[in-house]
Structure 1
Amino acid sequence: MRVPHGPCPGLPSPDKKYGTIQFAMGGSEYDDDWELPSADITVVLCGKLGCGKSATGNSIVGREAFVSEYSHASVTSTCQLASTALKDGRTLNVIDTPGLFEMTITSEDAGKEIVKCMSMAKDGIHAVLMVFSATSRFTREDSSTIETIKEFFGEKIVDHMILVFTYGDLVGENKLKSMLNNAPEYLQKTVELCKNRVVLFDNMTKDRWLQEKQLENLLDVVDSVNTNNGGKPFSDQMLACIKEAHAREQEVHDAIGYTEEQISELKKEIQRTRDEQLANITNMVEEKLNITVDKLQQQLMEEQNARLEAERLAAEARLRSDEEIRKLKKRLEKAQQENEEFRKMASQHKCSIL
């Protein structure tokens, strides 16, 4: 189920239209009404407990912005934002998330964190960094996390996904390539789904050249994703609603010609509308999460039933095979016994003649 298009919950329809940019060979084609993409870049780190999301975020921003430590419990309990200035003048915003799509988090908590993440990424998400440990086996659960995100946000989110493998200090690029080439089918399908956008990160290195080089590699892939998407970040109705709320707050902040009392009333109205809107979006997210989880659980149940049926048929085939082998052995033993009796009879007959 996807969130239906239309006006934002709790807000009137926006007056402003946003055009699209379509790139063509030899030039660019623009709508009459289009908006320049923001110079800022926003990336979101997603992944399960212990995969190295926070450490990767620290490597990207170049400082200890996120709490990162080895633990059997989640270190990141809520969405956090850190920014850094790039050499080309752009600002890179990094959002670190808790395990939003893990089975251990409730739909209510996941809904609140997704809304918070979207609020931080009010101008849209340029890239979703799916973080996995290169030293751990890529499981069907890892693959289903991507399927959950795809089901929740829609097919277009895949166009913004990049696979980031951590523990590059233990697994070099050549070994990672070899691992991916010999990986299970579901991992190979995940790599194909993300158009082979794979980055290896070493979060332990103190080598400044290597730190800068791996960041450059990541930014090259992010820029490639941005270009392939026409310079437009990922956005949907929920993000659009949040962006509109922020725009209204900015209008009030920049208001000229109003009395303090009028501005105070405007702020209260904006806050009330924003609270209603966020409550509506949170409910929408929770409902969509429940539907998505139910759908995936049904798919997993069907896959499990199919595997059990395949195992049952295989077991029956083995039993039939074992029975056939047993019968064949019995016939062979009988033939050998008859042959031995015939040999004895022939030997006795020969002695009688002599």
Structure 2
Amino acid sequence: MAAPTLSPSVTNELKELRIVLVGNRRAGKSSSGNTILGRDEFDTVGRTAQCVKRQGQVAGRQVTVVEAPGWWKNYQKEDTPQLSKIEIELSVSLCPPGPHALLLVIRVDRPLTQTEKRSVQKHLELLSERVWSHTIVLFTRGDWLGDTPIEQHIESEGESLQWLVKKCGNRYHVLNNQKREDHMQVTQLMEKIEEMVAGNRGQHYEMERRRGKILEEKRRGDEEIVNDKMMKVKIERESLRLQMGDSLHLSELRIVLVGYVEGGKSSSGNTILGREEFDSVGRTAQCVKRQGHVAGRQVTVVEAPGWWRNHTLEETPELTKNEIELSVSLCPPGPHALLLVIRVDTSLTETRKRLVQKHLELLSERVWSHTIVLFTCGDWLGDTPIEQHIESEGESLQWLVEKCGNRYLVLNNQKREDHMQVIQLMEKIEEMVAGNRGQHYVYICDSIHLSELRIVLLGYRRAGKSSSGNTILGRQEFDTVGRTAQCVKRQGQVAGRQVTVVEAPGWWRNHTVEETPKLTKNEIELSVSLCSPGPHALLLVIRVDETFTETELRSVQKHLEHLGERIWSHTIVLFTYGDWLGDTPIEQHIESEGQSLQWLVEKCGNRYHVLNNLQREDPMQITQLMEKIEEMVAGNRGQHYETERQRIEILEKRRIEEERVKEMMVRGHHNKSVTLKIFLFHFIVAHSLAFYCMDCQRLRSPEVTGAQRSQEPRGHRGPEVRGAQRSQGPRGHRIPHQAALLLYKVDP
């Protein structure tokens, strides 16, 4: 891409230049303004919350520079607060009659993604489509390029940056704010602006007068409303304090922090307690409780896990919802205040407002009487009153603040040394408690103790299902030596509950569902029908001492989904071989194992439990398991898992048919044996009679003498034959005895 050339014939030097700096946050707008004016005029430390206008003499010209507030580079226009968008629009009216140039500030040391390109486009087009004709791309961090030409960088960056540069008429300039003494880079920028103005026939950018008038009127109207509200709130607070007197001060405060992920709950907890107590880097997966002395009060702070701000209640994992519900029980007898943490630098859309409402109402409708909106990222506001932000944001945020009884406070977690903001928060909590007649929040838990629990153990072979069943029931009920080929059902009394445990046959851990025998798959499906009307929990048994691979994940997923997609809402991952972990928390193991195990745990609503089957005498691990099952049942609104009756009926009929066929086969084998016996009996009898007749005929022969007959043994009722002749003659008398022995050898 060729660099734009300067043409003296079309460039007229302007005695006055009006410039507006626009772009995302931390792009270098303030530093660029200082470089252009040759001195420190713009604050490069804090955020620019409102438009800032500065002037000076530069290269023989009177230069006016206006810096507009920036947006987060990954935010779309809808995510940016209304106040910032209004300031961007008004920026062009601060250098009347309008700017000669808008400098779109982009960092050269970071790639411009497709998302960021769309963000730039939508934010800039707040000023209308005509703005592009008056815009130059100003690349900052020019030292990062070294000897690389900017054209080579643009070419290498791909379509997003190339599109943006082209949209600005291929106008661009590089600024190195580390070399402010290099006046040539500023002189060249002035010349490029003048060339663009010449190309625009000497015209500057001008906002539509009607739009400017509307924005000014809205700003003035909002300021009047804000002033009225601030005065009203002040009067109400003073009146309440006069009524309550010294009784308002509480020696102990219990606080729960709730809100979406990345809202700033952990940082706020640290600011309240005045030290690092909560992890502000990783995600909070379970409730965290910390305590300390704050402004003469014993303060307990509980942080509940957050939900993703664009996720519906149904998309939020069951474990997260359970933890939110449990958070209020971690500071007994109940919290004085729930702080609903909302980022002030992000717009609260109607969709997000509904999500906040649904998640908070997990704690019942009564929760709103004990809730204060805690705005974080307070530095973003600058000198703008929070009331002005609330008013400008529109109905969604206003509804939320009103729902919380118009109770709100701004916290700047970047200024932890400012103790006054925490003291003000304590006072607002005390005022709210006074308004609630001294009452704290009490959560009536829907979770109840179940007198009966029905459990199904599932998993691959040799995972420890039988041992786990024995540990749960507290005695040897399942065979831990041989393989479980068919479902086994056992019952017993456990921790005051009637517990039914069904063990389903396992599959080979590396086998696909297609490789698993049909009989095993049928047994897995039938297992849930053996504890009618259905199991409260399915425990998916996984060995903690073996790596869980991607192949095994697919195998588990496919085998479990034989029971339908709904199965995951009723499943807890049961880790066996718990002794292998030692002192390592199971959460650390899950995190270190990677995506496969993390996916499985998350699919089960982040419900898991560790069992050490070598310590069966430890009843606490079973009691905790029972409680986790009850929490899950409560989260499922008391419902157990129930498979389709039609499917179960089909499987039952198939099993009955298979047993009938097997019985017929056994009976058929028996009939064949009887037939063979009868055939042999008739054959032997006929054969014996034939030999007997032959002997009779021979003995009647005159060749046999009486003496010979008299020598036959006594008691012989047949023809008398001598021993010598008998042994040499036909053995007809021996055949029946041998045949009888043969008949007894036939397998019935």
Length-normalised TM-score, structure 2: 0.27
Once residues 133 and 122 of structure 1 are traced to their aligned partners in structure 2, the CA distance between those partners, rounded to angstroms, is 28
How far apart are 1:98 and its partner, in Å? Answer: 1.9
Q: CA RMSD in A?
A: 3.5
For the 8 Å contact 1:140–1:186, the answer to whether it is kept is yes
Superposed CA deviations along residues 150-174 of structure 1, whole A, max 9, x for unmatched, are 5322221000111111111221463
Pairing partner for 1:68 from 280, 283, 288: 280
How far apart are 1:285 and its partner, in Å? Answer: 3.2
Aligned residues: 224
What residue number does 1:344 align with? none
What residue number does 1:280 align with? 630
Once residues 59 and 157 of structure 1 are traced to their aligned partners in structure 2, the CA distance between those partners, rounded to angstroms, is 24
For the 8 Å contact 1:101–1:110, the answer to whether it is kept is no
For the 8 Å contact 2:264–2:341, the answer to whether it is kept is yes
What residue number does 2:293 align with? 85
Pair 1:173–1:97, CA change in 2 (3 A): farther
What residue number does 2:423 align with? 216
Is there any run of 5+ residues in structure 2 with no aligned partner, and where? 1-241, 245-249, 450-494, 496-617, 639-748
1:230 partnered with 2:421: no
Q: What are the equivalent positions in structure 2 for 1:1-354 lying under 5 Å apart?
A: 40-69=252-281, 75-88=283-296, 90-100=297-307, 103=311, 106-172=316-382, 174-206=384-416, 208=417, 210=418, 212-238=419-445, 276=626, 279-287=629-637
Once residues 621 and 334 of structure 2 are traced to their aligned partners in structure 1, the CA distance between those partners, rounded to angstroms, is 22
Once residues 39 and 205 of structure 1 are traced to their aligned partners in structure 2, the CA distance between those partners, rounded to angstroms, is 25
For the 8 Å contact 1:101–1:148, the answer to whether it is kept is no
Once residues 274 and 288 of structure 2 are traced to their aligned partners in structure 1, the CA distance between those partners, rounded to angstroms, is 16
Superposed CA deviations along residues 63-100 of structure 1, whole A, max 9, x for unmatched, are 1111114xxxx622221111111333x32111112214
Superposed CA deviations along residues 20-49 of structure 1, whole A, max 9, x for unmatched, are xxxxx999xxxxxxxxxx953221111212
For the 8 Å contact 1:76–1:97, the answer to whether it is kept is yes
Once residues 156 and 143 of structure 1 are traced to their aligned partners in structure 2, the CA distance between those partners, rounded to angstroms, is 18
Which one-letter code corresponds to 1:238 in the other structure? C
What residue number does 1:342 align with? none
1:235 is paired with a residue whose SS is: coil
Superposed CA deviations along residues 274-319 of structure 1, whole A, max 9, x for unmatched, are 764564344213439xxxxxxxxxxxxxxxxxxxxxxxxxxxxxxx
How far apart are 1:106 and its partner, in Å? Answer: 4.1
2:425 is paired with a residue whose SS is: helix
Is there any run of 5+ residues in structure 1 with no aligned partner, and where? 1-24, 28-37, 243-264, 289-354
Superposed CA deviations along residues 178-213 of structure 1, whole A, max 9, x for unmatched, are 11122211211111111211100010015x3x2x10
Q: Sequence identity of aligned pairs in percent?
A: 25
1:169 is paired with a residue whose SS is: helix
For the 8 Å contact 1:111–1:283, the answer to whether it is kept is no
For the 8 Å contact 2:447–2:631, the answer to whether it is kept is no
User: Which has the higher Rg, Structure 1 or Structure 2?
Assistant: 2
Which one-letter code corresponds to 1:148 in the other structure? K
How far apart are 1:232 and its partner, in Å? Answer: 1.7
Pair 1:124–1:58, CA change in 2 (3 A): same
Which structure dedicates a bigger proportion of its chain to helix? 1
Pair 1:274–1:218, CA change in 2 (3 A): same
How far apart are 1:116 and its partner, in Å? Answer: 4.2
Once residues 625 and 437 of structure 2 are traced to their aligned partners in structure 1, the CA distance between those partners, rounded to angstroms, is 33
Once residues 439 and 624 of structure 2 are traced to their aligned partners in structure 1, the CA distance between those partners, rounded to angstroms, is 25
Where relative contact order (Cα < 8 A, 6+ residues apart) is larger, the structure is 1
For the 8 Å contact 1:47–1:53, the answer to whether it is kept is yes
Pair 1:183–1:114, CA change in 2 (3 A): closer
Once residues 619 and 251 of structure 2 are traced to their aligned partners in structure 1, the CA distance between those partners, rounded to angstroms, is 31
